[in-house]
Amino acid sequence: MIIEQEGKYKKFVKQCPQLTFNAEQSLKKGNRVMFITERCVIERTDEGMILTEIAPGIDLQTQILDQMEFKPIIPEGGPKLMPLDIFLPRWGKLKEIMENNK
């Protein structure tokens, strides 16, 4: 993946002006909470926001961490690489990938 130009606004901020989804309440109900973007996958847990996966070709520091208002937890050894199959012009394995990540 190639990011040609960064957007005007940060996507992961310390505080939202308006909530349409409350991750803490969802976690308390026993749900798994994941934020999936074109750059990375971040999982919200009781420990905090964990950067679990990164897209191929994305620079962790400049294209993810520098674009956030907070520092996520990064697992030892770094985040996994997101499956290449989901970035192909023609794909159809997302359901299979999501079912295998349960």
pLDDT digits (tens, 9 = 90+) for 42-100: 999 999 999 999 999 999 999 999 999 999 999 999 999 998 888 777 766 777 777 88
- Model pLDDT, residue 90: 74
The confidence band for 102, taking pLDDT boundaries of 50, 70 and 90, is: low
- Model pLDDT, residue 57: 92
- Model pLDDT, residue 55: 94
How deeply is 22 buried, as exposed, middle or buried, from its count of CB atoms within 10 A (0-12, 13-18, 19+)?
A: exposed
CA–CA separation, 7 and 11 (whole Å): 9
Mean pLDDT, residues 29-52: 94
pTM of the entire structure? Answer: 0.78
Residue 1 has pLDDT above 80, yes or no: no
Size of the chain in residues? 102
